[in-house]
Amino acid sequence: MKHLKGAAMPHRGQPDPERVRAARIERIAGLVAAKMSAYIDRERRREEKRRKQSEQAERAGGEMIERARRR
């Protein structure tokens, strides 16, 4: 058998490089997914805040018009 150097041939007691690579990819994918979900949550909250503010402004505008009519 031809001798293989480096990562091609794992030494005794060392993990399989393919499994190490797969684990690293999975970890990175998990981090990306977590960041993406955090971003989506943040955007959703921002959107809700904007909607509430616009509804409040609309209500306040309507009240001011009503007050002006009563005078």
Tens of pLDDT, residue by residue over 19-62, are 999 999 999 999 999 999 999 999 999 999 999 999 988 888 87
Residue 1 covered by a domain: no
Within 1-71, where are the H helices?
17-70
Instruction: Tell me the average pLDDT across 9-17.
Output: 73
**Integer Cα distance of 55 and 22 in angstroms:** 49
The half-sphere exposure of 5 on its side-chain side, counting CA atoms within 13 A, is 0
Residue 41 covered by a domain: yes
Please say if the pLDDT value at position 10 is more than 90.
no
Residue 35 covered by a domain: yes
Six-digit token pair at 19?
């499994």
User: Which residue is listed with tokens 């209500």?
Assistant: 59
Q: Which domain holds residue 62?
A: 16-70
User: Which residues fall within 8 angstroms of residue 10, CB to CB, at 6 or more apart?
Assistant: 16, 17
Total tally of structural domains belonging to the chain:
1
pTM of the entire predicted model: 0.53
